[in-house]
Structure 1
Amino acid sequence: MTRTLEWKVRVRLTEEDGTTKAEAVLDTGTATLTGHGVAHCNPQDVDVPAIGDELAASRAMRDIAGQLMRVADRDLEAAGAGSGSGPIRPPYAWSDMT
């Protein structure tokens, strides 16, 4: 089976007084997940807004990744593949190894 999907991610960044906040929204076409991330500039460090953007955005996307993994674990269990914490029977033995 071959299939192609496109999922869209939108990231909104706001910065105020050395704090950058990010909201990332993943739209799969059938579901939407929202993640949040924050980065604070140490007052003793040079304020480089791009670094705050990168940190906050990566934390928001990591939040989405965790949510997506929990959804996948529930879907695996519902498909009869067992819980995400136990051994997974084929054909659902999706590996995160490349």
Structure 2
Amino acid sequence: MTRTLEWNVHLDLSEENGTTKAEAVLDTGSEKLMGHGVARCNPQDVDIPTIGDELAASRAMKDVAGQLMRAADREMEAVGAGPTKGPLGKPYAWTDVAG
């Protein structure tokens, strides 16, 4: 079976008084997951807005990724293919199939 899907991510960033906030929304077409991230500039550091943007955005996307992984785990468990109980092994990664 061949499938082609397009999922969209929308990312909003705002900065005020050295605090950058990010909201990431993943739209799969059938559901939306929303993640949040925050970055604060240490008052002793040089204020470089792009660093705050990158940190807040990555944290928001990490939040969405965690929600997506938990949803997949629940769905796998529902069909008897979920992770085993107890200590988990090394996480599966894309490079594991290429090597």
Give the alignment's TM-score, normalised by structure 2. 0.85
Residue correspondences, number? 89
Partner of 1:51: 51
Q: Percent identity?
A: 71
Question: Which 5+ residue runs of structure 1 have no aligned equivalent?
Answer: 88-94
Query: How much is the aligned-residue C-alpha RMSD, in angstroms?
Result: 1.2
Runs of 4+ with deviation above 6 angstroms: none
**Map of 1:24 onto structure 2:** 24
Q: SS of the counterpart of 1:3?
A: coil
TM-score, normalization by structure 1: 0.86
- 1:90 is matched with which residue? none
1:96 is displaced (CA, Å) by 2.5
Deviation digits for residues 36-86 of structure 1 (CA, Å, limit 9, x no counterpart): 0000001011101111000000000000000000000000011221x33x1
Paired residue type of 1:10: H
